[in-house]
Structure 1
């Protein structure tokens, strides 16, 4: 019988998600992961198989615990403006949305599994926005267009905030866009 694991896997995966949400996959070495997570290299390899295995576990965890709950709240919003306010005003979802953005830009083009996970989550986000738009009888295709625009706006605002562009305030920008939507829906 082997030695019992000396770390809590869920805690390590959550901490890895936080780290992967701050920098690129290729920009984080195994040495940094070992140091940041406080887990021996051999234990990480035994549990996750590789850096990619840890990354996949962290991405799955973040999508499930950060992004999907946000999508559920967007779906429950009364209209698109409220959906935008919910999606841009959720500090708890920051790690998940940051990791989603990094995964979309750097890993999805080279990793089919990541691409498939993100496609499913983005489709769910679009569906939540369609649900939030409500039964206002849009023209054919309009609900899909609005849903796509909302998802793109949320991710675009998150990207600008992440970039630290001077004068970028995600709450202010989200509120301005939500006010505009309030006038047109």
Structure 2
């Protein structure tokens, strides 16, 4: 019988998600994972099979916890414009979408499973924005949910690249005006 696992798998996946969201998949070596996560190389391979296996688990965790949390907050906002803007602002200035953002540009073009997971994340956000828009518009879907998701991801990209909060707020306000929102 093997030794009992000396680490909490959920904690390792969560920490790996944070690491991949800051360093990217290609920018994170197995040695980085081992030292950052405090997991022995053999344990990492035994549990996740490979670096990619851990990455997929981390991306799924991000979808289930971080992206889902943004979508849930949007649902709870019930279409209230001020609350929806606040949630979007938090998503733009926070780190909840970082792993999905990096996965979309780095791994999705070369890994079909990552592309599928990124697509699920975008669809989750699209549905949340669409539902919020229908509530705000008395049941009529007058907003463009996919465009709103694209804007959110684009603004997060700008924020990560050093664009100031003022610039991001101005872009968000301009889009809200263009979509006919007060």
**Alpha-carbon displacement from aligned partner over 1:54-93 (angstroms, at most 9, x marks no partner):** 00111111111111111121133343744232122258x9
Q: Distance in 1 between matches of 2:166 and 2:20?
A: 23
For structure 2, the residue ranges without an aligned partner over 5 or more in a row are none
- Correspondence for 1:180: 177
TM-score w.r.t. length of structure 1 = 0.84
- Correspondence for 1:77: 77
How is 1:1-185 mapped onto 2 (pairs within 5 angstroms)?
A: 1-79=1-79, 81=81, 82-90=83-91, 94-134=94-134, 136=137, 142-143=142-143, 146-165=144-163, 167-169=164-166, 172-173=169-170, 176-177=173-174, 180=177, 184=181
Structure number with the bigger relative contact order (C-alpha 8 A, sep ≥ 6) is: 1
TM-score w.r.t. length of structure 2 = 0.85
**Alpha-carbon displacement from aligned partner over 1:14-62 (angstroms, at most 9, x marks no partner):** 1100000002211111111111111111110111000000001111111
Shift of 1:178: 7.4
**More deviation in 123-132 or 99-108?**
123-132
Paired residue secondary structure (1:25): coil
Contact 1:17 1:58 survives alignment (8 Å): yes
* Number of aligned residues: 180
Shift of 1:184: 3.3
RMSD: 2.7
